[in-house]
Chain A
Amino acid sequence: MEEKRKIFFEALKNKNYTVALKTLFSLIDEEPSLNNYNFASSRLKEIDLDKLGFHHIKIAILSSFTIEPLIPYLHVKCCKSKLNSEFYIGGYNLFHQEILNPKSKLYEFKPDVLIFAIRLQELSPTFYESFLECSKDRIRDEKNRISDLIRSLILAFRNNSSSVIIIHNFETPIRPSLGIIDSQNEPSQKRSINEINIAIENMAKEIRGVYVLDYDNLTALHGKLKWQDDKMWLLAKMPIATSNYAYLADEYIRFLKPLKGLNRKCLVLDLDNTLWGGILGEDGIDGIKLGNTYPGNAFVSFQKEILNLYNKGIILAINSKNNETDVMEVFNKHPDMILRTKHFASWRINWQDKVQNMIEIAEELNIGLDSIVFIDDSPVERELMKTNLPDVLTVDMPSDPVKYCSILRELTDFEILSFSDEDRKRGEMYHSQIERKKLQESSASLEDFYRSLDMKIVINLADSHSIPRISQLTQKTNQFNLTTKRYSESDIQSFTESSDYRVFYVRLFDKFGDNGIVGVSVLKKNNEIEWEIDTFLMSCRVLGRTVETAFLSFITDVVKKEGAKLLYGIYIPTKKNQPALDFYKLHGFKILEHSSEQTKWILDVENNIITFPEWFELETNYE
């Protein structure tokens, strides 16, 4: 430890921030103590995180209890996720004033996200301390009072800010006042609290950008008896045992990653001793362990857990040293396989080195290496992957397959903030990409290929059904994204309500099925004759099929009809959006201004036409 601190200070002195950061993290990994988190958190301020390409995030926390011990944990964990976090902590139990006063420090801080960490113990002690003293009516009134209070606070915040809200739900008591017959009583203490929780969940369903952190479940997950700290509560209004603040921080990270587009999209799997027990090449299809008794059932459970991720919209791929024909036989014929070839978007089953395979998989799927999670039972393969492709998240798998499922569940990288039809069907859509590729290879020319795809695009203004997916695309799209502006659902909502903005989405169908919503454009009216393309992005899945040209052609027509003479296009370079670099140039825009931060393009829409590719059928309800 002393040694590592020395290395850290040395690196800091030499402004070698990468090494400094790596050393801090290894210090934490080696001994994740409060003191080490504190040390790391206070030293992080000396590291220039912007230089390392970190994303900024401003986090406001309002709470009804002492939450300060959380900060070192959350600060360091944010950093581990490449987030440079800045905090605002509201005064102890002053959340009403902070939220209701539009001039409060909370709004001055301009948070990206508000964490609303409240406990019912403070809001209404009745539910815990004197439940049995209260009449039925009193409990009902109190339930309504609390639900109404929370709703009015959320709405007041929404009026002043469009940032995301993460709100805690309330924990049920460790032991209800009436003991074992609480559930038979009316009102029941536990049920009453759960009813308030349901009211909070309904607010999250109704009001955009509101997410519930299931605090009751979190305390149960780690054991309610171990979660609380009676001594610190009585001494300092600190109800949570200090080490548990680390788990709370992890839970916030689950929200922050997808909020900043840092969640991962693809799970790449090894086969032998990962999806089944044993080695296929040696044990044969009848010898591998997979079935309804131990140890085969451990692998069946793991496959089911993976299938769940697939259904949630995570892309699956295989990277394995095996004979492809043997593997296909297992996928097609083994009765106990849960995963089948149709679940995979790409595979490299060969004797090539896995690092090379991984690069190829990323290229084929058109995703970044930092979107990939890799699971392999072999420590040697894992080490190779970690060293050569540090952007890939290589998971340290335990040697016991019984533990595989829980490792997968505890990963914080696959969380999503919305679940759309696109997510539900993503696996199918990627798999049909393989069919498209075959068609492309058999087509004489690109144009032939486009025509034979029977493509239809639907371009419409954003509406309540499409807003979640539109926001999701702005959060997730990195490559073909001209300005990489990340918008929450409530941001998009407010654009649709403004007469100076138009938000369009494009949805693509072809002979292999529905590709879902694949592109978004936000148009901004600067004045009567000038419009600007604030956002233009396209899912990388459909790049190379000229959808972007059709979309640009459409929006150019739109602004022309709105009376525009000039259309501006902005390109803001990032580490990843190289594919969009020449987009405006290729479509006849001229450079207006150029700097290292951005390039501003201009199109005289009166005298220029962007041809709509003839191979698309267009459907729109935009008048």
Chain B
Amino acid sequence: MNENEVTAKLKELFSDIFDIPQDKIQDDLSPDTIEKWDSFQHLLLISSIEETFNISLTADEVTEMVTFEKAKDFVIKNLSNRKGIEIY
């Protein structure tokens, strides 16, 4: 899975969970800019990301993941830490 694929997949998830069109999703998207991003939707987002990419985010990552850009970074970091999966 390359970076673009990760971004595309994440955009799908964000779009579904926060009910916004994919083309509106920028790196600085955050709970401040989206009304629907409350603590419950945040949990949903975390669970969906973990399930979709088959990764387990750390508790720190969960609390720090407050922009689209961070989500991308954490997913890529976790994927590249996993043996046998190559990020290119």
Contact = CB atoms under 8 A, between A and B. Distances in A.
B55 interface: no
15 contacts: A34-B44, A34-B47, A34-B48, A35-B13, A38-B17, A38-B44, A39-B16, A68-B40, A69-B44, A69-B47, A232-B43, A235-B63, A236-B39, A236-B43, A243-B47
A543 to B, nearest CB: 51
Interface of B: 12-13, 16-17, 39-40, 43-44, 46-48, 50-52, 56, 58-59, 62-63
A361 B36 CA distance: 53
A33 B48 contact: yes
A234 interface: yes
Contacts of A234: 59
A242 B62 CA distance: 15
Contact of A242 (B47, B59, B63): B47
A238 interface: yes
A34 B51 contact: yes
Contacts of A38: 16-17, 44, 48
Interface of A: 33-35, 38-39, 66, 68-69, 231-232, 234-236, 238, 242-243
B19 to A, nearest CB: 8
A35 B63 CA distance: 20
Consensus secondary structure, chain A interface: helix
A39 B44 CA distance: 12
Contacts of A34: 44, 47-48, 51
Contacts of B59: 231, 234-235
A377 to B, nearest CB: 33
A35 B40 contact: no
B86 to A, nearest CB: 24
Given A34-B47, A35-B13, A236-B43, 19 more contacts: A33-B51, A35-B17, A35-B51, A35-B52, A38-B16, A38-B17, A38-B48, A69-B47, A231-B58, A231-B59, A231-B62, A232-B43, A232-B46, A235-B62, A235-B63, A236-B39, A242-B50, A242-B51, A243-B51
A69 B44 CA distance: 7
B81 to A, nearest CB: 17
A591 B38 CA distance: 58
A228 to B, nearest CB: 13
Contacts of A33: 48, 51-52
A38 B48 CA distance: 10
B16 A35 contact: yes
A538 to B, nearest CB: 49
A69 B52 contact: no
The 3 closest A-B pairs by CB, nearest first: A242-B47, A35-B48, A231-B59
Contacts of A69: 43-44, 47
Q: Which of A234, A242, A243 has the most CB of B within 10 A?
A: A242
Contacts of B17: 35, 38
A228 B16 CA distance: 26
A34 B40 CA distance: 14
A38 B16 CA distance: 8
A199 B17 CA distance: 42
A67 to B, nearest CB: 12
A423 B48 CA distance: 44
Given A33-B51, A35-B48, A238 B43 contact: yes
A68 B52 CA distance: 20
A35 B44 CA distance: 8
Nearest to A33: B51
A588 to B, nearest CB: 61
Nearest to A242: B47
Contacts of B12: 35
A38 to B, nearest CB: 7
A93 to B, nearest CB: 16
Contacts of B48: 33-35, 38
A231 to B, nearest CB: 5
Contacts of A39: 16
Contacts of A35: 12-13, 16-17, 48, 51-52
Nearest to B62: A235
A34 B41 CA distance: 12
Contacts of A232: 43, 46-47
Contacts of B46: 232
Contacts of B50: 242
Q: Which of B13, B51, B58, B63 has the most CB of A within 10 A?
A: B51
Contacts of A235: 59, 62-63
Contacts of B44: 34, 38, 69
A403 to B, nearest CB: 25
A68 B41 CA distance: 10
A38 B47 CA distance: 12
Nearest to B12: A35
A467 B47 CA distance: 45
B55 to A, nearest CB: 12
A242 B17 CA distance: 15
Contacts of B47: 34, 69, 232, 242-243
A66 B51 CA distance: 19
Contacts of A236: 39, 43
Nearest to A32: B51
Q: Which of A39, A66, A236, A243 has the most CB of B within 10 A?
A: A236
A38 B39 CA distance: 16
Nearest to A1: B12
A236 B13 CA distance: 21
